[in-house]
Amino acid sequence: MYVRATTRKNKDGSTVRYLQLAHNEWDAATRTSRPQVLHSFGREDQLDRAAIERLVASLAKLLDPAAALRATSGSDLTFLASRPMGGAHALNGLWHRIGIDTVMKKLLTGRRLDPAAERVLFALVANRALAPSSKLAATRWIEHDSHIPGLPATSDDACYRAMDWLLKIEDKLAEEVYWQVADLLNLEVDLLFFDTTSTYFETGEPDTPAARDDHGRRLDQHLDQETESDESADDGDGKSFRAYGKSKDHRPDLPQVVIGMAVTRTGIPIRVWSWPGNTGDQALIRQVREDLREWKLTRVVWVADRGFASEQNRRFLQRAGGHYILGEKIRSGSPAAQAALSRQGRYAHVADNMQVKQVQLPDTADRFVICHNPDQAKRDAAIRADLLAQLEEAIKGSDKLKPLKRAELRGKLSTKPGLHRFLRATPGGLLRIDKAAIKAEERLDGKFLLRCSDPHLSAEDIATGYKQLLEVERGWRDMKTIIDLRPVYHRKEDRIRAHVLLCWLALLLIRIAETTCDDTWLNLREELERIHVGTFSGPAGTFRQRTETSAAQRAILAKLGVTEPKRIITLEPGTPA
C-alpha cells in the first residue's frame, strides 16, 4: 500500500492535489498492474492531520518501537553513537539483588540530598570495576562512554556530595550489606580473615596534624563537605591522615594511609577501614573487633598475619568467645617459637603437599601448629644459595682492604637484609660467611608456625585456614590493579575515606560475580562489555537499541540472576512537522 497523489487544474489556473490510500492489483488478463483506491483523504490542503496521526499510531502498535520509528523515518535514520552497556547492566543487577539500592534509599529518607545520590554512587562503583578514573573523568565516562541505568549524566559536584553522604552512612551500610550478602550467598562466618596494606600519595608533604579519637577519626567534625579543599588546620598535637609510616609499597619517602579489610573464607570482602599512615598494626585489629562485634556474628575465628600476634591483641580477640589463628614469627627467637620448633614429633600429610605437626606447650592454652611444605623448602634453599653466592662475591678479596674500607663494605652490606643475615665479622674485623646462621636457616626451610586458641579445630583446619589468608592478599592485588585504588586523586581526608569505600563496594560486586560464575572478573568484564547500545535518530525521533546477546553473555547473566537488558532501551519521539 502507498499514498497516491492526483492533481486537478482549476479554471483560474491553480492546481489542487488529492491524496488517496491505494494499492496495486495484478490483472492477469491484460498482464498489467492496476491501482485500486482503498480510501480517499481529500484535498491535501484540507487534510485532517490529527486523523492521520491516530491512524499511524494505531498501525505502529503492530510493530516493535524501533521498527515503527524506522518505518516513519524513511531513509533519514542516522546512527549517532555506540557505547558498551553489558558490564554496567550486570553490576546494576547485582547491586539490586544484594539490596544496596534499597538500603541507600532507606538511609536517604529524611535527608536533604538529591534522591539520585544512590545512582551516582552506583555509577562511581561501576566506574571502578569497569574503567577506573578520577571523579571528574568518571562524569565524562558516565555521560559519553557507558550506559548507566537511571543516570544519563552527572556532575563532579554531585559525585562529591554523594561521596560525603556515603561516609556518613558507612557503619550502617556495611552492616546492612553484609547481612544481605550473607543471605544471598548463604555465608557462614566461621573464619574471618583480616589484613592491612598501605597506599601512598604522589606528594612530598603529609597533612596538617589533627586531634583524633581511638579509631583514627578527626575529633573536629566541622569539615567542609562541599569542596575539594586542603585539610583545615588544627592546632595542637595530633596525627596526620596522610602521614609517613612503614610502607608496604616500599615507598617510605611518600606520605600514606593504612587500609584494613575483613574477608570471608570465600573471598567476599565484608568491610574496609582507613587509618592514618603511621598507625601500627597492633592497634588496628582492636577497632575491627569492636566494629564487627556489634553485628552479633555467631562464631568468629580471626585469621591474621604475624603482625597482629601481640599478647594484648590475642586477649582482645578472645573476648565474647572469639578465637584466633595467628602467624607466629618463626625467626623472632621468642621462647614460645623456640620451644615449639624444638619439640619432636612426626608430621602428618594434609592437602596441597603440606605437612603439619601439632605442639602443645605446658605454660599456655594455645595450640601451636608447625607447617612444612617440601616444595617451599626447595625454593628457600635455592634462594639462600643465590644469596650466599652474591655475598661470597661481595666479600671476596676484602681481607686485603684497609680496615676503614672494610668497615665501609660491611656498612653497605648491612643495608641488604638478605645478605647481612649470613654475614659475620671476626674479632679482627675480617668479613666471613656465618655458617651457624646458615645451619639455623636450614632448619626453617619451608616452615611456618601458627598459634590457635580454638580447642576444637584440627591441625589440618588450622593450616588450611591460614593459607586462605591469601584471599585477602588477592583482594589487595585486585584493589591496586583491576580497581585502581591508587592513584588517589583526593587531598581531603573524608574524600580519601569515601574513595576507599567505593573501591570496597566495587570489589564486593566483583567477588560475588566471580564466585557465582566461577570465572575471573577480567574474563567476565571482557565478554559483558561486548554488549553495546546504539543510538539512532531520524525525523520521527531518537531511540536506543542494544546489540543481540551471545550465548556466552546470556549464560553469564543467567548465572548472576540478572535479566537480559531490554532490546529497546529508550524511545524519544520527535515533534511532528
Q: For residue range 390-442, what is the model confidence (pLDDT) as tens digits? A: 999 999 999 999 999 999 999 999 999 889 999 999 998 999 999 999 998 99
Residue 362 pLDDT class (50, 70, 90 cuts): confident
Helix axes 470-480, 493-517, angle to 10 degrees: 120
Neighbours of 121 (CB within 10 A): 24
Share of the chain above pLDDT 70, in %: 91
Is 182 part of any domain?
no
| pLDDT class of 66 with cuts at 50, 70, 90 | low
Residue 139 in this model has a pLDDT that exceeds 70: yes
Greater confidence, 67 or 153? 153
Confidence band (pLDDT; 50, 70, 90) for 234? very low
**Residue 68 placed within a domain:** no
pLDDT at 189: 63
Q: Using pLDDT thresholds of 50, 70 and 90, give the confidence band for residue 227.
A: very low
> What confidence category does residue 148 fall into, taking pLDDT thresholds of 50, 70 and 90?
very high
| Higher pLDDT among residues 476 and 166, named by residue | 166
DSSP state of 458: -
Please tell me whether residue 283 adopts helix, strand or coil conformation.
helix
pLDDT computed for residue 410 by the predictor: 92
Q: What's the pLDDT at 221?
A: 53
- Domain extent, residue 432, equals 375-442
Domain end point (choices 400, 419, 442) = 442
d(CA 409, CA 406): 5
Where b means 16+ CB within 10 Å and e means fewer, 150-168 reads ebeebeeebbbbbbbbbbe
Q: Domain count of the chain? A: 2
Q: Which of 67-76, 162-171, 207-216, 314-323 shows the lowest mean pLDDT across its residues? A: 67-76
Least confident of 52-66, 147-161, 186-200: 52-66
Report angle CA 123, 126, 127 to the nearest 5 degrees.
85
The pLDDT value given to residue 407: 92
When pLDDT is cut at 50, 70 and 90, the band that residue 226 belongs to is very low
Backbone angles phi, psi at 219, to 5 degrees: -75, -25
If you average pLDDT over residues 275-292, what whole number do you get?
A: 81
Strands (E), 180-311: 191-200, 256-264, 269-276, 301-304
Terminal CA-CA length for the chain: 23
180 belongs to a structural domain: no
Task: Pick 160 or 490 by higher pLDDT.
Answer: 160
For residue 13, how many other CB atoms are within 10 A of its CB? 6
CA-to-CA distance for 383 and 418, rounded, in angstroms? 10
Burial (0-12, 13-18, 19+ Cβ within 10 Å), 520: middle
435 domain-assigned: yes
In a domain, 123, yes or no: no
> What confidence score (pLDDT) does residue 20 get?
86
User: Is residue 321 assigned to a domain?
Assistant: no
Which of the pair, 80 or 148, is modelled with greater confidence?
148
**Average per-residue pLDDT for the chain:** 85
- The rounded radius of gyration (Å) of the Cα atoms in the chain is 35
In a domain, 82, yes or no: no
The verdict on pTM exceeding 0.85 is: no
- The reply to whether 506 falls in a domain is no
418, 442, 466 - which closes a domain:
442
Q: What is the mean pLDDT of residues 129-154?
A: 93
Q: For residue range 14-60, list pLDDT tens digits in order.
A: 888 888 888 888 888 888 888 888 888 888 888 888 888 788 777 77
Over range 107-128, report the average pLDDT.
88
| Cβ-count burial 389-417 (b if 16+ within 10 Å, e if not) | eebeebbeebeebeeeebeebbeebeeee
Q: Quick check: 64 pLDDT over 70? A: no
Of 528, 514, 551, whose CA–CA distance to 89 is shortest? 528
Question: Could you say which of 412, 442, 472 is where a domain stops?
Answer: 442
pLDDT value of residue 230: 39
pLDDT at 535 over 60: yes
